[in-house]
Amino acid sequence: MVATKKTPAKAAGARTSTPSSSSSDASTKKKKRSAGGRRKQKPTEYNKFFAAQMALLKATIEDNEERRRIISKRWAEKKAEDTANAPAADSDD
């Protein structure tokens, strides 16, 4: 064991500005993070739609840009259809 020299701040029991990665608090949980350091978001409705449509079109259309154009048109149609079929909001005026 190597003897270390205590600084006055450590001897007095004062807090230092070192990161507290050794927290032993049981309520602290690590968040799942991606490689970039941000938490992963759940896929949106559009992400799910895009993935499903891409899988369908991959076998028939080779051009990636064309597939994306078709998917964006289908998404616009789907959203227009969804808003047309959505129940009207009741106003209390």
pLDDT given at position 48: 96
Q: Is residue 58 part of a domain?
A: yes
Domain range for 69: 45-80
Q: Does residue 71 fall inside a structural domain?
A: yes
- Which pLDDT value is given to residue 87? 79
Q: Are 9 and 3 a contacting pair, CB within 8 Å?
A: no
Quote the pLDDT of residue 55.
94
Number of domains in the chain: 1
Give 56-73 pLDDT, tens digit per residue: 999 999 999 999 999 999
Query: Where is pLDDT greater, at 52 or 3?
Result: 52
pLDDT attached to residue 81: 92
Q: Is residue 27 part of a domain?
A: no
Q: Is the dihedral of CA 53, 74, 67, 36 positive or negative?
A: negative
Residue 31 located in a structural domain: no
Token pair of 51, please? 């993935």
Helices 64-85 and 45-58 cross at an angle (nearest 10°) of 130
User: 39 lies in a domain?
Assistant: no
Q: Is residue 57 part of a domain?
A: yes
For 22, the token pair is 């050794």
Contact 74, 53 (CB under 8 A): yes
Cα dihedral 27/32/36/40 (nearest 10): -120
In-domain check, residue 62 = yes
Task: Give a yes or no: residue 66 inside a domain.
Answer: yes
Taking only the tens place, the pLDDT of each residue in 2-45 is 666 666 655 556 566 555 555 555 566 666 666 667 888 899 99
